[in-house]
Amino acid sequence: MKNRLLNDLKSKFNSNTSITRKLFIITAIFFAAFVGSTLIIQSLFFERFYISKKKSDLINNIESFRSEYNKSKDVVAAMEVAAEHEANNNIKIVILDSSSRLKFNQSKFRNEGNKTKDLTDFIRLWSEQTNKSILVDNKTQTYLVSNRDGDTRNIVAVNYNSDKTEVIFALSSLQPVNEAVGVIEKLYFYFTLVAVLFTILLAFIYSKMIAKPLVKINKVATKMAQLDFTEKCQVDNKDEIGNVAASLNFLSENLDNALTSLKQANTKLEEDIEKERKLEKMRKEFVAAVSHELKTPISLIDGYAVGLKDDIFEGADRDYYLDIIIDEAEKMGNLVSDMLDLSYLESGSFKLKREKFNLTELIEHTIKKYETIFEEKRAELKLDLLPQVIVNADWNRLEQVLTNFVTNALRHVNEAGSIYVNAREMENSFVVEVENTGSSIPEEDIGRIWDQFYKIDKARTRKLGGTGIGLSIVKNILVHHDYSYGAINTDNGVKFYFEVPKL
């Protein structure tokens, strides 16, 4: 039970107490233990130590007196030696001769008083009770005695002076020990007050030098644990704590850089993975689209070729099916040609052959090739061009762009509809537009029409040889020219455009 209570207190102290309070408590406990142990030692051992010290000093004094006393030549000199030792050492000296009589009458000594009376009483009792045979030459015996009132103790030293066959008595009062204890108690009271103030001062110093820097370090470390490296540890100490703070800042910066690099690498990896997924999806769609585009002409060619071989068709039918085979083979050739062209445009080796020319002439040249088809579709062509639109571009590639825009318009124009081909001048550029009347493009599909083999209406007529990759070719050509482009729905239908910067 006791151990559990101590463990609970220790756990609570470690978990809920700040380091400043811990240091204050530890320091207070240390000073309390120091003061308490000092008081205990004083109460238990100080008096005994003091008495032992007084006995030792009294023995040394009486032996010193004996040495000088034996050298004195007469009574006067001996009395002066005794008086000097009494005055210097705060003792009382009495000598008995071999007949146990006082060699010096008390009245002959100075500073007579209680000490003389106490020593006289002791000598009388000692003479009555002590066997003189126990005295040993040069060996001093000490006695702890009380005065007549029984309240003040004294130390008496007895030495046998064999040189003169005399007994020397010396008395020293122990009264100062009581005064010393009282003074020490007062001293410890003031010492305790000073210790409390000193403990508070130490707690402030601990807080300034140790606790505050450690709190800052802990705050930064906590944020680092939450992957927040924005805050730095501002500790100016030039000691181990300062080194820890500097190391923590260095670690924070390195971790921040490492995590930033890792995030960037992860983002790049995700982008690469997503790009790879898109490429894989495009590859699958491409294979499916090519398979779909080639399946019909191959089936037609195969079927009609077998029929012709077996002479199933004769006369005009034979020529008709031969024309179908030729037409489907041409469409297959166009598809392969467009695929190779797109592959070339998407490769890194493609280079534009730029030259300066009038874009209006290129537009008129391209439109003229489709006059017959305009008549067949009964589509009205409306031109609104500028006389001079000088550009620095690749003639053949821009002709591909215009061709795809025009054929796309012819493919989707409504019956007896209109196709508008315009060139407008802007502040810093020229805009070429091809618009056809008819149904608009769904908004969810308008961004995907530039993808390979993407067709909004899979049931459209294949008369104009649409392969599904014409707009992908347009996009790549315009991107290589660094021209902006787009497609928008209008009130009448759909408009395709590209923008050419002025020279």
* Interior/surface letters 301-338, b for 16+ CB within 10 angstroms, e for the rest: beebeeebeeeeeeeeeeeebeeebebbeebbeebeeb
Backbone angles phi, psi at 298, to 5 degrees: -65, -40
Is residue 220 within 8 Å of residue 231, measured between CB atoms? yes
- Please state whether the predicted TM-score (pTM) of the whole model is above 0.85: no
Is 14-180 a CATH 1.10.287 domain?
no
Is residue 399 within 8 Å of residue 490, measured between CB atoms? no
For every residue of 3-31, DSSP letters joined together read HHHHHHHHHHHHHHS-HHHHHHHHHHHHH
CB atoms within 10 A of CB 22: 14
Per-residue pLDDT of 245-277, as tens digits, reads 777 777 878 887 888 888 888 888 988 888 888
Q: Chain-centre distance of CA 165, in angstroms? A: 92
Looking at per-residue pLDDT, the higher value among 293 and 485 belongs to: 485
Pairing mode, if any, of strands 418-425 and 380-384?
parallel
* pLDDT on residue 406: 93
Query: Considering only CA atoms, which of 394, 366, 401, 397 is closest in space to residue 471?
Result: 401
- Collapsing DSSP to helix, strand or coil, 73 comes out as coil
pLDDT at 18 over 50: yes
* pLDDT on residue 109: 44
pLDDT at 442 over 80: yes
Per-residue pLDDT of 135-187, as tens digits, reads 666 678 888 887 666 666 788 999 888 888 888 889 888 765 666 666 676 77
Dihedral sign (CA 383, 387, 392, 394): positive
Backbone torsion region of residue 111, taken as left when φ is above 0, otherwise alpha when ψ lies between -120 and 50, otherwise beta? left
**Which element (helix H / strand E) includes 501?**
strand 493-501
* pLDDT on residue 462: 45
Per-residue pLDDT of 408-424, as tens digits, reads 899 889 888 999 999 99
Torsion of CA 289, 290, 296, 297, to 10 degrees: 150
* pLDDT on residue 111: 45
* Burial class of residue 24 (count of CB atoms within 10 Å of its CB; 0-12, 13-18, 19+): buried
Over range 213-239, report the average pLDDT. Answer: 74
Is residue 423 within 8 Å of residue 432, measured between CB atoms? yes
* pLDDT on residue 180: 65
Over range 486-500, report the average pLDDT. Answer: 93
Domain with CATH 3.30.565.10 in the chain: 351-501
Over range 6-35, report the average pLDDT. Answer: 65
Domain with CATH 3.30.450 in the chain: 14-180
* pLDDT on residue 106: 44
Confidence of residue 363 (pLDDT cuts 50, 70, 90): very high
Over range 65-75, report the average pLDDT. Answer: 86
CA distance 144 to 185: 25
CA distance 164 to 169: 14
Looking at per-residue pLDDT, the higher value among 357 and 77 belongs to: 357
CA distance 119 to 124: 9
Looking at per-residue pLDDT, the higher value among 340 and 91 belongs to: 91
Confidence of residue 118 (pLDDT cuts 50, 70, 90): confident
Per-residue pLDDT of 228-247, as tens digits, reads 777 777 666 666 777 777 77
Q: Hey, what are 327's tokens?
A: 């037409």
**Which element (helix H / strand E) includes 403?**
helix 395-412
| Residue recorded with tokens 């040993």 | 136
Secondary structure of 465-494 as H, E, C letters: CCCCCHHHHHHHHHHHHCCEEEEEECCCEE
* pLDDT on residue 9: 47
Backbone angles phi, psi at 113, to 5 degrees: 165, -140
**Residue type, position 158, single letter:** V
Per the DSSP assignment, residues forming a β-bridge with 92 are 171
* pLDDT on residue 384: 94
Backbone angles phi, psi at 236, to 5 degrees: -100, 5
Q: Hey, what are 39's tokens?
A: 């008081």
Which residue intervals of 147-239 are DSSP H helices? 175-206, 212-225
* pLDDT on residue 420: 95
Portion of the chain with pLDDT greater than 70, in percent = 81
Secondary structure of 257-289 as H, E, C letters: HHHHHHHHHHHHHHHHHHHHHHHHHHHHHHHHH
- Collapsing DSSP to helix, strand or coil, 431 comes out as strand
CA distance 210 to 166: 71
Is residue 304 within 8 Å of residue 318, measured between CB atoms? no
Looking at per-residue pLDDT, the higher value among 87 and 46 belongs to: 87
Over range 317-332, report the average pLDDT. Answer: 80
Q: Chain-centre distance of CA 143, in angstroms? A: 76
Per-residue pLDDT of 469-484, as tens digits, reads 788 888 989 998 999 9
Per-residue pLDDT of 330-356, as tens digits, reads 877 777 777 777 777 776 677 889 999
- Residue 379 DSSP one-character state: P
* Range in 41-50, 76-85, 402-411, 484-493 the model is least confident about: 41-50
pLDDT at 459 over 50: no
CA distance 263 to 271: 12
Q: What would the CATH number be for the domain defined by 351-501?
A: 3.30.565.10
Q: Chain-centre distance of CA 214, in angstroms? A: 15
* pLDDT on residue 41: 76
pLDDT at 450 over 80: yes
Mean pLDDT, the chain, integer? 79
* pLDDT on residue 455: 61
pLDDT at 199 over 60: yes
- Collapsing DSSP to helix, strand or coil, 144 comes out as strand
| Residue recorded with tokens 């390979």 | 452
CA distance 453 to 9: 78
* Burial class of residue 215 (count of CB atoms within 10 Å of its CB; 0-12, 13-18, 19+): middle
